Structure 1
Amino acid sequence: MLSEKLKQLRKELKLTQVELAARFGLTQQAIAKWEAGRTLPEPETISRIAGFFGVTTDYLLDMTDAFAAIGSASNVRIIGTVKAGYNALALEEDMGSALAEVKDAEQYRYLVVKGDSMAPYIREGDLALVRLQSDLKNGDLGVVIYGDGEATLKKYYYSDGAVTLVPFNNTYETVSLRGHELEQLMIFGKVVETKTKW
């Protein structure tokens, strides 16, 4: 039940009801009612709670067993900044960590998104969970580095010897790489999840 899981997650982070309430701009009484099972948060608030604790809304609502306990999650490093544009670097600077439902945390990184080229689905400040890998399939959402070390988060397509990087925001142009440009292309990884960082 949401009441039990909320209480468990809060205690795992060693937060009081008052402290958790303050994070969401709510009263301690609201948190107490949720944990007692007397009321349920609004759907939007449930989504915010899930994002804060690094779990899914399905898990909070008992709709999945994929995350049976907080112990099955790992702390994944938050590194660098990947701009949802075409002019930022992916720097492996330590920016803390966040929980993710992965078994091998070293194979993943969280990257903070900047820019709006992937809006409205991925917004500035969101965390992109990236599985480190050197290849992508057509239609994958990936993080690639090319040229002088530029990193970008885009939909990836390969056809007729060219790689095309497609933004969600149609006010931005697609980028096509071919020929010698492909020699400077490095696939950093595949985005497997994004979540809003509150």
Structure 2
Amino acid sequence: MIGENLKFLRKNKKISQEELANELGLTRSSYSGYENGVAEPNVQNLLKFSQFYGVPVDVLIKKDLPSLGVEKWHELSQGVHVDLEGKKLRILATTVNEDDNENIELVSEKASAGYTAGYSDPEFISVLPTFQLPFLKKDRKYRTFPIKGDSMPPVSDGSYVVGEYVENWRNLKSGYPYIVVTQNEGVVFKIVHNRLDDAQSFQLCSTNPFYEPYEVHANEVVEIWKFVNYICHDIPSVSFKESELTKAILGLQADVKHIRNTYIPKND
């Protein structure tokens, strides 16, 4: 299979065997043997091919690239190597209660630091605190994550956000809040704009305008959870529009004037 994949990638790039061999420091005869299946490239050369084409080694070895459809090949050629639609097995470690109902695991602030490494480890998930919210739908999977900082008001620092597991990332609705678990940043809570079709990425935005939006490539994402509700330790502050404040002040002034005219006797 790897020989057919190498031939497919080279032809797609529109270069000759000799040009490719010179580019990667190989002899033409040895490279020709890889394509024809009479020799297998060693690990060092596999890494060279992977870097040159921007395709992971496991894709070179395991996938039948010539048989991919146009859409899947476009995703691979643009650097998307994850299962966007959740059609393959996506490992989700979970726990159940004594009635065999799915628990809502609570990822503590301490546990969130290791969540990117332990999210698919049953042992890591099994020691998390669990609880139930009876008003949530029974056929969905939920998890609760801690929120740090002031980037997503009215959700304040120290709150916990309950998320519903998203299997098909193409179903993400732009402009809605999600918990996004990334390889580099860990757990983040943001307004997400779905840019899979044009940029193979997600744009993450804060509700606090002080923070600039930024892009996360789909390959960096390991899990996504749709916002359901949040648990807060304080009452969010309420802000009024200037017009509303003006109206309220004028109303108070009218009330004071009415009280003064009605209940305070005038001096003769």
TM-score by length of 2: 0.37
TM-score by length of 1: 0.49
Question: Which has the larger share of strand?
Answer: 1
Tell me: higher relative CO, structure 1 or 2? Use CA pairs within 8 A at least 6 residues apart.
1
